[in-house]
Structures are given as C-alpha cells and as structure tokens.
Amino acid sequence: MTLPADAAQTAADAIRQRCDLAPEWAIVLGSGLGPLADEVKVRAEFAYEELPHFPRSTAVGHAGRLLLGELQGRRVAVMQGRFHLYEGWSPQQTALPIRVMHALGARSLAVTNAAGGLHPLMRVGDPMVIEDQINLMFRNPLVGPNDDTLGPRFPDMSRPFDPHYGETALEAARLGNFACHVGVYAGMLGPTYETRAEYRMLRGLGASAAGMSTVPEVIAARHLGMRVLGISTITNVCSPDALGETSGQEVVDAANSASGKLLAMVTAVIRSAG
C-alpha cells in the first residue's frame, strides 16, 4: 500500500489534538514485551485503529496501542506492539509509527524484539544488545521518492545503533548481575521460523540472533537522524543440530519472563541520555 506523503504528519496532528506531550524518546515493544508499558505514567492512550493511516497489529503478544506519558522522568511515546511485513503491511507502513513519533518530537528510539539465538552460549531469557543488523527481508521503507526534509536519499548505515546507548545498557546488565550478549540481528521476512539450513546460513553470515521485525524501523529512524538503542530478548535457542519446534505462544511467554531485564536496561539508557 502506498501512503500519502503527509501520512506521518496527519497521524501526528490527530494525536496532538488529544495530547500535547512532546516525547523525547520513542519506544517499540516487541512480542511479549508489552508489560514494560505498565511502568509508564500514561497521559494518553490510542488504539492503532484510531490513528490515521495506521495498520492494525495482528501478531501474537501485541496489544496494538500507542501510549504517551513519562518513564523515569522522560517524556516517551511507547508502541505496545508493532507492524510486521509478514502481516501483509508494506515496509512504509511498518516504518510509519517511527516517523509519527519523530514528528511528535522524539529524537531517540529504543526498539525491542523477541529473537531466536544463534550463539551456542545463549540461553532463553538472555537479552542481547544489538550492535548491527542484516536486512534479509530484502525490503526497505525508503524505496520510492525521498522526502529531503526528513533525511538524505542515501542514508549512511555504517553505525545504525548508538554505541553509547549500547554500553549503558550493558552496564545495567552488569549491575543487575544477569547475562547479556552483544551481537548482530538478522531481520527475516517470516512468518515461518527458519530451517536448519537457514540457521547455518545465518551463522555463516555473522548473525547472532534472528527475528521478523526491527530492521525497517531502524532504517527509518536512521534516515531521520535518530539515535537508536536495540535490544533482543532470546526466546528460543536455534541449534541447527538439535532443533526443536517453536510456537508463537512459547516466544511470548519467554519474552514475558525476561521483561524485568529489558526494563532495567531500557530505563538505564533513558535516565542517562542527554
């Protein structure tokens, strides 16, 4: 679906009519990580279907709400659930909320997701700070005419995730005395989980974890010049030689059990950010 050029601004204007809070941070909560929103002092809440041009979230574990409020004394816009290419949405639609939250004022983005761990030392429930990404969705939200007022035609992606934010998140894990990895996130189209051969391929490409989201959002954010923190929760361990079956509900349950770790890391970064 092709969105109008002013889609993000139209949605932002509709939000401002009900709430004048200008967020400093945009936060995207992935599968099973919605409970983090319970920590937000909510000023306004919007169901996605209330907002112009927003798709509907149909994925398991995604509430489908945008919250405006405060977290750790910072003004935030929180997506409680996101949009995926496998749901049938276009890359531009999956990236729309990032542009809306930027239009509202956010200049930093925290993206979280549930992912399959590819490293043998990973365990279910471990967080991973994302230091880089591989776009194996082969879709890009910047395809089409470029709006030069938002960002350059050819944005640099040599450092998509902010190193300072990542180090602050790692320090929070050290202080909390829980394991945390650093690695590369591979974005897959889905909705099928990967085969043994695909897991071997991903390892060979240098991926540390794989999932079905995040990549279009990060591309859109960097195009806008936003600083990005990315954290995956390892919800299943993908060993090609001992591969068990995985269900969507198991992923949600595993992410829910690790939400406290994510909260500690995200809030540490939000508190420290200038």
The answer to the question of whether 236 is labelled as a binding residue is yes
- Alpha-carbon span 77 to 64, nearest angstrom: 13
The answer to the question of whether 194 is labelled as a binding residue is yes
Tokens of 186: 């591979």
Query: What domains are defined for the chain?
Result: 7-272 (3.40.50.1580)
Tens digit of pLDDT for each residue in 16-45?
999 999 999 999 998 656 667 888 999 999
State the angle between helix axes of 91-104 and 7-16 in degrees (0 to 180), rounded to the nearest 10: 50
pTM, full prediction: 0.92
Least confident stretch, 35-39, 65-69, 104-108, 219-223: 35-39
The answer to the question of whether 213 is labelled as a binding residue is yes
Tokens of 151: 């960002």
Least confident stretch, 1-15, 79-93, 117-131, 237-251: 237-251
pLDDT bucket at 237, cuts 50 / 70 / 90: confident
The answer to the question of whether 45 is labelled as a binding residue is no
The answer to the question of whether 82 is labelled as a binding residue is yes
**Whole-number pLDDT of residue 205:** 97
The answer to the question of whether 84 is labelled as a binding residue is yes
- Alpha-carbon span 123 to 33, nearest angstrom: 17
The answer to the question of whether 174 is labelled as a binding residue is no
Using alpha carbons, select from 72, 81, 159, 135 the residue that is nearest to residue 113. 81
The answer to the question of whether 90 is labelled as a binding residue is no
Tens digit of pLDDT for each residue in 46-72?
999 999 999 876 655 556 899 999 998
The answer to the question of whether 31 is labelled as a binding residue is yes
Least confident stretch, 98-102, 118-122, 175-179, 205-209: 118-122
- CB count, 10 Å around CB of 55? 21
